[in-house]
């Protein structure tokens, strides 16, 4: 699987985990130079608290376009150390 935005590959892996239709990529498969920590957080009743990354590519920014669960609840342990995408990021 590959995650791209504005023609740039953000992550690529043969080892994604699909949860609720989202592919979670291993953290070591993302190209960290495009990711910036965000202050944004959200809560899922069964996964726990999500943290977000803003994505920056060639002067364009996509705020909160990637998320991860630093300490997922037990029911979501399979996505610990993984990152998922939305907001126009193509995963194919």
Domain that holds residue 68: 2-91
Q: Which residue has the tokens 């130079």?
A: 33
Question: Alpha-carbon distance 74 to 48, whole Å?
Answer: 9
Residues 61 and 55: beta-carbon distance below 8 Å: yes
pLDDT tens-place string over residues 39-90: 999 999 999 999 999 999 999 999 999 999 999 999 999 999 999 999 999 9
Residue 7 zone, left/alpha/beta (φ > 0; ψ -120 to 50; rest): left
CATH of residue 68's domain is 2.170.150.40
Counting the structural domains of the chain, the total is: 1
What's the pLDDT tens digit per position in 30-47? 999 999 999 999 999 999
Give dist(CA 76, CA 48) in Å, integer: 8
CB atoms closer than 10 angstroms to residue 82: 26
């Amino acid at each position: 699987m590959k995650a791209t935005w504005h023609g740039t590959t953000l992550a690529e892996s043969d080892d994604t985990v699909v949860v609720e239709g989202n592919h979670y990529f291993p953290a070591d498969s993302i190209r960290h130079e495009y990711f910036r920590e965000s202050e944004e957080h959200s809560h899922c009743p069964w996964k726990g608290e999500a943290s977000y990354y803003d994505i920056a590519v060639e002067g364009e920014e996509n705020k909160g376009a990637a998320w991860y669960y630093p300490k997922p609840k037990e029911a979501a342990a399979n996505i610990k150390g993984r990152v998922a995408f939305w907001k126009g990021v193509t995963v194919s």
